[in-house]
Structure 1
Amino acid sequence: MPAAPGVRSALSRSLDRAIVIVAVLSALLIVTTIGLLPLGGPAGLLLAALPLIFGIYVVAGLIAWRRRPSNGLGFLILIAGLMVFIGGVANTEVPVLLAIGAIGATLALPAMVHLLLAFPSGKLPDRLSRALVVVLYTASLVLQAPEYLLDPDGSYPPFAIADAPGAVAVFGILQTLVATAVMLVVAGVLWGRLRRADAAHRRVLIPLFSYGIFTVLFLPLIAIALDRVFHVEPAVRGLLQFAAVAGIPIAFALGLLRGGFARTGELEELGTWLGTADAAKEPLAAALARTLGDPTLRLFFWAEGQGGLLDEGGRDVSVETVADPRRGWQPIVLDGRSIGVIDYDAELLADKELVHTAGRIVAIAVDRDRLTAELRASQTALRRSRERIVEAADRERRRIARDLHDGLQVQLVLLALEAQQIATAPPPRVPERATRLRIDIDAAAADLRALVRDLVPAALVERGLTAAAEDLADRMPIPTEIASEIDDGALSHVVEATTYFVLTEALANVVKHAGATIARVRLGLDDGRVRLDVEDDGVGGASIEAGSGLRGLADRVEAIGGTISISSPPGRGTRVWAEVPCG
């Protein structure tokens, strides 16, 4: 089966359309410019290089824009290319383009410096960088103005307001000196950044900043040495300048590729979403599904306390139920801890690294939602525990009421009738019937004692937990060994009662279901907690969730901060152990 094509988010598709439009418009601009330039003249080769350089900038800018949509670097490359293009349209014969070219003849230089200083974030990182860029843009616009305002034979005669060739020369030299000084400072800034970078970043910065330092030093050299000192032919000087300028976008493209920047359009969208108010309104799983383009994507959280998976509602999720060979399973790790899992359509999203990167981006938000899911699960478990405790109490009250009504109450009514009959019986039969009445009263009293013993064992009330446990073991129908390290009277009534009822339920299950030949009971006190361990050699297969008895006991133990666990492999007996805090 061929691999399914990757699914793109709506924002990513919109970005693709925008890039296509920019590429088409740039191509039309290049073709139009080529048609307007006088390529048949002696400088035809030099003029033909201008649209080509602009095309290089456009391609490099679109690559950077596509790979890092939220980074301003791609936009800056396009702007730098546009400044190069503006400087070249002055060679056409169209009046509007001549005017634009005259004003922006030297804007390519500050645009390139802006580009170099803004790498790799797309923003100028400090005040010095911003000051250098502002000074260069100002020098390019203000100090360039006398060239067309004070020279009727200058780049655009209609703009001329005076004829002052001396002022034009002075401003030209001043512009060169300012640009040269700024370029030297820029070279120092780039060199300083290169030295301060760590090994990983230096690998990316060395090719780009090395070429950038060469360029910012070479361009003033061309303007000063080749032009004013050696008087090199303009065509040769222009070709050298164009070659240096054209290498800038190529160096940036190589820097991007060397840095290993992935196609992160979808992930940039996700990172932006996390920083907005919408992140608190839209579920994280829905945002991941929308970003990665997989409507079937599901997000699960690892519950540290439960050792299992939870969904966003805090409900338990079985790993077996979500395991599917057609789906991908990407763990989310934060600080070395597995905090969640992304379950996605592996055929739809063939790029596993994309899902992995998305998981890294949302890891902190996943940890937040994981804690929320655990809290919801705890609240749900607490509510269900309380409901089970209430239901168990209701069942116990109904049982007591039924036993009293159907048993003891009937016996008392019959005894009352018997006493009434004795009062009217002939004297010879009174002793016999009184004896029978006494026997029936003893039986009723025994039933009452049994009922009370089931509610609160007398041995537990009178002598403590160890004595009550020994009494219970003595009444077991199978041999039961008991070992206790607890002194009677050392525990509170709540702790004693809770531990005793766990013991009675565990031994009752041994008798009813285990088919065991022996049971062992151990009671201990360790680190402020009562530890109870009940073990048998029966058939095993028991579970807390299988019946209401142990489940009710677990609720009661957990209600006072304790824990209860069960191990019951089939054919290897059952072990129940509980820990109850003494405080």
Structure 2
Amino acid sequence: MSTVPPRRLTTATDAGDLRWPHERIELMGPASASRTAHMRSLDRALLMLGGSAAGLGALQLALTLPDSGSLWWVHLVIIGTFACFIVAGLLAWQLRPGNPMGMIVTVGGFAVLAGTLGNTGIPALVAVGSVTATLVLAVTVHLLLAFPSGRLPDRASRVVVVAAYVVSLVLEAPRYLFDDPAASIGTWLQRVAGAVVVVASAVILARRVARARSAHRRVLIPLFVYGMLALLSVPLRPVLLEPLFGPVTAAVVQFVVIAGVPLTFVLAMLRGGFAREGELEELATQLGDGEPRRPSELLARALGDSSIQVLYWIPEQAQWVDETGVVVDVPDDRAHIEITLADELIGVIVYDSYLIADPEPVRAAGRVLALALERRRLSAQLLAQRDALITSRARLVTAGDQERRRVARALHDGLQVRMVLLALEAQRIASDATGSTPIDRDRVVALRRELDETAGELRAFVHELMPPALVERGLCAAAEDLVDRMPVPTALHTEIVDGSLSADIESTAYFLIAEGLTNALKHAQAQRMSVRIGRVAERVVVEVHDDGVGGAATRPGHGLHGLADRVHALGGILQVHSTAAEGTRLRAELPCRTPQPEAL
């Protein structure tokens, strides 16, 4: 996985190929008014096409129903199949204007209508119906092999689709141009060629399913199985359906199966999340309105690919970061398009090329979002720097506390013990001294007294530097020891267990309690105080309250200001509520564990 910006990558469109398209985007500005007008024109054109299709369906019913007798319902089934294709195709076309699938489905609907014109009894229409009798099957093959992008991804698919149209249009000719035996030979040849096309399509589809991801297979397998069933309904009709149901019912069953083809394809296309160019216009508006969501969320909604990622290039560190500032690598197994602004690389859009086979919608979205992505890139860079700063500050606090503990232990276990031993030795000398040397004895007693005083000061210094109770027993025990030494009534409420917090958090909480109680005694003239140590989710809450005169604040150079820096360095929050004549309340929230640096 490389951390340097990729420059070139071979393009491939096969769904199973791991060579992905990679292109660059230059800023061209938001979607223009001409594009909006184009979308409106498309909507009007689709509306007119739908109206024309409805008129043609009504006309065919008017031509076929009067002479249909008891089989009138069969013609309704045919028109219903035609309507399924048209409605599904126009809907897909309108929702995914950049995806040709909707257009192909719509063409399939007209193929159904054209192939049944032989029922009208009008010679010209009967001729058209004879030529296009099996055209819908070629369209079905086209749909299967073009799914999901609407474009045939490789040469094999294109050859098979061309062969399908040849079988449906060219090899159909002997059946209406010649009489037996030429017509029978032509029918046999068409069936053999059609079987070859079906088998070739099945092989291509099976390879795609095998190469697809598991999430895609849940969509592809039912779709491909149903499409192949629709194709097989034609050769199976004379050998299986007609013996079971009779000619009329077999024909109806075949049309019902074919009617499910457009519905299945459109549902799969919408479920699969394919490029939705129609929503790209919303991107600029959402950004202009202060859209709070991330660009990746907007792109996922606009392009129909929930897996889209936006990564940002940080040139100072030569690294990619995501939208939260975490250092990442550009995936090698996914398509990605770089985005530049004023010839400077600012980011990359990573997407699923199986869902979005055509990179043009991604390119267009990148143009719309280029300025917003630059702003996000700077924000991501600041987040990365902030995280690094927080981590470094936490390391400094940790190092400082470790040094304090080391010094306190050295003083307590080394120098203090030596001073005590010296004091005992001085006392022994004083006890052994004779009355003939009273001056020497007095000097030794004075030495002992000075040693005792120095040892006491040293113990007080060690306690202030790092209380032994905190080091040996934990926060609650140290807080209890501190409260017991207060000259005014002080209540202590603890809701945690010693040992559940990291050493840095415990020492910070203790110094906050000590500073709060000391300030209340020295400056606030407090008569009553309370301390609470609690826990909310993954954070420890420390509160110190007094009934003094108030007026405390985190002013530079004062103890509370240094404590606030210490709390913030560990990722915590310190609040000071101090109103005149109403007392002071300190409240700090700290993480239960010292923040750790992100793994790179």
- TM-score, normalised relative to structure 2: 0.44
- TM-score, normalised relative to structure 1: 0.45
Higher Cα Rg, which structure: 1
